[in-house]
Amino acid sequence: MKRATTAKSLEEAVNNIRGAVMIAYPMGLPDYDLVRQILEEREELEGAAAMQVLDGGAASLWCFNKELQKEKLLSDYVGKNDKTKVVAKLQKKGAGAPQREPIVSEDEQKAMIAFYHKKQQEAEKLALEDEDAYLHSQWANPKALKSAFTGIGEVSWKAR
């Protein structure tokens, strides 16, 4: 259901936050605290923070690399599935589509690099081994059957 946000509901939310701050900090917040400045409406936006503020009339919502129309419902774009995750971004009108989200997150990328590095080390280790290294193992001994029958398979010739 599409419901417009009203100034009254926003003012109620700000008053709820103001009440929660008064309960959490009975002595009040210091003058330099950003929450106090926002609640008293005397915050100063400078630099990058000033560029992040968008006017509602001059902003457009982008999702799926498409600009969402204000007249349409979000379900027209996404569907009725409740478990759908939507990543939407606000842009200035006429600025074009925002940068796309990366396909692989940083954590996944690090895990993939670690896996690749591990596999590469294993391949280098196998390449260093001789091709005939298996000939020195017990199962490749051509006289193992004879020594097993004669009982001298595990005789140690060193003095104890």
Q: What percent of the chain has pLDDT over 90?
A: 20
Q: Residue 97 is encoded by which pair of tokens?
A: 């589509």
The H-or-E segment that residue 90 falls in is strand 89-92
pLDDT tens, N- to C-terminus, the chain (160 residues) = 667 788 899 899 999 999 999 999 999 889 888 888 888 877 776 666 566 677 777 788 888 888 888 888 888 888 888 788 888 888 888 888 888 878 888 999 999 999 999 999 999 888 777 667 677 777 788 888 888 888 776 667 777 6
Q: What is the DSSP letter of 124?
A: H
Domain boundaries, the chain: 1-49, 54-101, 106-150
pLDDT of residue 67: 85
Q: What is the pTM of this model?
A: 0.40
The residues pairing with 89 across neighbouring beta strands, listed in sequence order, are 62
Q: What is the DSSP letter of 41?
A: T
